[in-house]
Amino acid sequence: MHPLLENLLAAPGCGARLEPAADGRGLVCAGGPCAKCRGNLRSSWPTVGGIPRFVGSHPAGRAEARTVRAFERQWRRYGGLRRIFGKDPRAMAANLVGARMGGRIDAGWYRGKTVLDAGCGHGRYLAAFASLGAHVVGLDIGTGPEEAGVPLDDPRIAVVQGSVLEAPFRDESFDLVFSDGVIHHTPDAHAAYLELARLVKPGGALYVWVYPREGFLRELVFGTARAVTTRLPGPVVRWLSFAVAPLTLFVRSYSGTRLGRATWSECAQVIHDWIAPPLQSHHTWEEVAGWAAEAGLVDCERLPIPTGITAWRPA
C-alpha cells in the first residue's frame, strides 16, 4: 500500500480499519468483513495497478454508470492535452492559492498538509498540490487518473478509486478536502457534500465548486440540449463535441475556454464535459452554505467563481 494511505483508508460505508484479507486478495474490514460489509455485493477491495479499488459494493444506477463512463472516455481522449478546462499546469497551481480558494489559503499554507482531491478526474491538480508542499490523495470513482497518466510512483501522491458518496477514508483525516466540479455529477450532491465534510480535520477546510443554477432561459436551453446529447453513444458525443467547438465563441463556459485562446481540441474537451454526463445538477450558493452549516462547518467564504465555497471545521 502507498505509505500515504496507511493511516487514511477505512472501509467504505462502515468506516472500519482495513487489513489484508485472509486469502491475501485485497483489503477487508479489520477482523473480517462486518455485517454491513457482508451485505454488500463486495466485501473485500482489491488493489490493482497500485490503486486500491473501492467500487462495486452497490449496484450503480444506469445514469450513474453512464456518467462514470462519460468521464473515463473524456480523460482517455483529452487527459493528455496541454490545457484542460483552458488551464495549463501552472494556471492550475495558481488556482490553489489566494482569492480563488478563499482568503485564508496562501502558498505557504500547504506545506506538510494532507489534501484530498475528491473526484480528481484528469488528476492534474494532484501534481499542483504536491508542488505546493502538500501530500495529496486523489479519489475518483472512475479510471480517469490512470487514463490521463497520473504518476503512480510519487511518494507525495496517492490515487484511490472510490465514490465521494462513500469515501473510503477515516473521519477527520484531511487538512483540506478539495472538490472542484464533482458532486453535481453524483445522484445526490447534498449527501456527497456531507460525506466530504466528514473527512475534514478540526481547523481544516472543505472547498467545493458546483454548477450554479442559471436563469430560466439558459436552464431550459441547456436542459433540452442535454436531454438529447446525454443519450447519444460515446463516439457520437465525442464527434459532436469536436464539431461544435466554435460555439465557445458565443456561449460562455465557466472556465472561460474560448476558441482562439484555446485549441479546437481544448474547446471540444470543455463541451464534452458539459454535454456527455447524464448526471448534472445545479445549485445556489445559499443552498451549499446551508449544507456547510448542517455539517458543522463555519466561516463560509464566497469564492470569485459562482457557487464556489470554502468552509472551515472549527479547531
Residues that bind Zn ion (CB under 5 A): 11, 14, 16, 29, 34, 37
Q: Which is nearer to Zn ion, 31 or 260 (CB)?
A: 31
By the 10 Å C-beta count (0-12 exposed, 13-18 middle, 19+ buried), 138 is classed as: buried
Q: CB neighbours of 267 closer than 8 A, spacing ≥ 6?
A: 245, 246, 248, 257, 258, 259
Selection from 231, 259, 254 nearest residue 243 by Cα: 259
Minimum distance of Zn ion from residue 16's CB (angstroms) = 5
Selection from 205, 219, 209, 189 nearest residue 85 by Cα: 209
Selection from 159, 191, 175 nearest residue 294 by Cα: 191
Q: Which is nearer to Zn ion, 56 or 80 (CB)?
A: 56
Helical H runs in the chain? 35-38, 62-78, 89-95, 124-131, 144-147, 189-198, 216-229, 234-243, 264-275, 285-294
Minimum distance of Zn ion from residue 116's CB (angstroms) = 21
Minimum distance of Zn ion from residue 11's CB (angstroms) = 4
Compute the distance between CA of residue 302 and CA of residue 240 in angstroms, rounded to an integer.
Answer: 35
Minimum distance of Zn ion from residue 34's CB (angstroms) = 3
Q: Which is nearer to Zn ion, 46 or 133 (CB)?
A: 46
Integer angstrom CA distances of residue 49 from 54, 74, 161: 14, 21, 11
Which amino acid, residue 185? Answer: H
Minimum distance of Zn ion from residue 171's CB (angstroms) = 15
Minimum distance of Zn ion from residue 55's CB (angstroms) = 16
Q: Which is nearer to Zn ion, 45 or 222 (CB)?
A: 45
Residue 17 phi, psi (nearest 5): -60, 150
Integer angstrom CA distances of residue 46 from 10, 146, 147: 14, 16, 19
C-alpha 27: how far from its chain's center? 23
Minimum distance of Zn ion from residue 36's CB (angstroms) = 5
Minimum distance of Zn ion from residue 314's CB (angstroms) = 30
Q: Which is nearer to Zn ion, 35 or 315 (CB)?
A: 35
Q: How is residue 86 written as a grid cell?
A: 483552458
Q: How is residue 132 written as a grid cell?
A: 505546493
Q: Which is nearer to Zn ion, 20 or 151 (CB)?
A: 20
Q: Which is nearer to Zn ion, 40 or 265 (CB)?
A: 40
Q: Which is nearer to Zn ion, 22 or 217 (CB)?
A: 22
